[in-house]
Amino acid sequence: QVQLVESGGGLVQPGGSLRLSCAASGNIFSIYTMGWYRQAPGKQRDLVASISSGGSTSYGDSVKGRFTISRDNAKNTVSLQMNSLKPEDTAVYYCNADVVYRGDSRYLRERGLFWGQGTQVTVSS
């Protein structure tokens, strides 16, 4: 149906930068909101940033001013530029998308949320 593939995670020193990317593929008609979530061990999964199809953005309080989310509607991709990284940013980062896609019948459209497999971001000296 729909797949989300993430890339760009890794190990970085405090104060450094990383750029995460996510590409959606499948029988997609359109994508409403795309976003990034993160989850550290023993903690809940929290919103990092989201962006609507029109380009409106939202950010979690802990990343405002440091992270920037963007998307390319033609390519069905979303990116997260992470600057001034802190050890507290260490987590598994997940891509999320609200997708309108083709159902089993070519005449039907369905809408649902899809998740990427997650990519590890570690901020440490």
Q: What's the pLDDT tens digit per position in 45-69? A: 999 999 999 999 999 999 999 999 9
Look over the chain and give the mean of its residue pLDDT values, rounded to a whole number: 96
Nearest Cα neighbor of 119 from 12, 15, 16 is: 12
- Taking the C-alpha atoms of residue 82 and residue 92, their distance in angstroms, rounded to an integer, is 14
Please give the average per-residue pLDDT across 72-101, as a whole number. 97
Please give the pLDDT value at position 104: 81
DSSP 17: -
